Amino acid sequence: MKINKIFDKSFILFLIVGGINTLVSAVLMFLLEKTGYWVSTIIAYAVGAVISFFLNKKFTFKSEGKTTKSAVKFIINVAVCYIIAYSVAQPIATLILSATNLSSLWIERIAKLFGMGLYTLINYFGQKFFAFKN
């Protein structure tokens, strides 16, 4: 499969929608950081996911599939991407940054940012080739 087939116009639109989601999610995640790593990221991503579903279905991937079926596939995709990204991000960031003088709070914050980037990349492929595949 050619790279321009994978990263086409939908990727740019996905990044724009993702920018909106990231802004909303990041603000919520950091506002809720006293609730802990998992609670703050779950709540933030749940809100971002609702925004993402409607914008990506209609504008990014122009999916004509039934909303219910697309929503179920989208939820599965988001859950799998979330678990993978944040399960990988936290131990990697902790391993890399534990030798620094950063506080555990800042290591957690950097882990969240790393998780956001990883989540965005794998989520694009999941939405393009699974959730909103026409």
Identify whether the C-beta of residue 52 lies closer than 8 Å to the C-beta of residue 18: yes
Print the domain residue range for 104.
3-131
Whole-number pLDDT of residue 49:
84
Cα dihedral value 97, 101, 105, 107, nearest 10: -10
Residues of the chain with pLDDT under 50: none
Q: How far apart are CA 10 and CA 33, in angstroms?
A: 32
Nearest to 44 by CA among 90, 112, 103: 112
**Which DSSP category does 7 fall into?**
S
Question: Could you tell me if 114 and 89 are in contact, meaning their C-beta atoms sit under 8 angstroms apart?
Answer: yes
pLDDT of residue 7: 76
Q: Output the pLDDT for position 3.
A: 65
CA neighbor of 132 nearest in space, from 46, 52, 49, 57? 57
Position 1 scores a pLDDT of 60
> What total of structural domains would you count in the chain?
1
| 28: its two tokens | 């919520």
Return the pLDDT at 4: 67
Burial of 74 from C-beta contacts in 10 A (0-12 / 13-18 / 19+):
buried
Quick one: how far is CA 77 from the chain centroid?
10
Please give the DSSP secondary-structure letter assigned to residue 8: S
